Amino acid sequence: MINIDLTDLVQMEKIKYSSKSQLARINTEAWASKHLKCQCGGDLHQEENNKKVVDFTCIECGRQFQLKAQNKKFGTVLTGAEYYTFIEYLKNHTMPDFICMHYEMHNDVLTVKDLFIIPGEKITADVVIKRKPLSETAKRAGWTGYNLDLNKLKMWYKRLDY
Ligand SMILES: [Zn+2]
């Protein structure tokens, strides 16, 4: 008789998942720094992981970029991180351009399906949608996320050749 411990399976599934999303992040960032250039023609320098809002800086003109990569098509909203941090950043800094990448990954091989830029100057408070704070029972109770309203932004999309 084979004895399967389900808690072990769940654990394994979690590890598999986190390493998969991490792998996707590493792959998409590497792809972007290799294939994409700034509108001025300059190469993109990849920033340290702890710089949360800025992922790349143009080595020629200093323009900043954030990479938003997801393995599904872009719909009407773009999921962001913490709302208050973002609003604070919006008030005090120049918003980086958002590089939006729709990718597929099969057997660790990355295929880019769609790619466009949202200019940072178009990302203003009126396109930021505050989400409901996480419930009391959640691990991060009170944590509040945000979405960007892509319906208001899609007229500014700049498609990228790659
Ligand atoms: Zn540049």
* CATH code assigned at 96: 3.40.210.30
Q: What share of the chain is helix, strand, coil (3-state, %, to 5)?
A: 35, 30, 35
Mean pLDDT by 10 residues, the chain (162 residues): 56 62 87 92 88 88 95 94 93 94 89 95 97 92 95 93 72
CA of 136 to the centre of ligand 1 (A): 45
pLDDT of residue 53: 82
CA of 41 to the centre of ligand 1 (A): 6
Domain that holds residue 101: 2-159
CA of 37 to the centre of ligand 1 (A): 8
CA of 118 to the centre of ligand 1 (A): 15
Place of tokens 């998969």: 20
CA of 139 to the centre of ligand 1 (A): 41
pLDDT of residue 9: 55
pLDDT of residue 37: 92
pLDDT of residue 109: 86
CA of 4 to the centre of ligand 1 (A): 55
pTM for the whole thing? 0.82
Q: How far apart are CA 107 and CA 145, in angstroms?
A: 32
Place of tokens 């994409």: 36
CA of 96 to the centre of ligand 1 (A): 12
Number of domains the chain contains: 1
CA of 5 to the centre of ligand 1 (A): 54
pLDDT of residue 101: 96
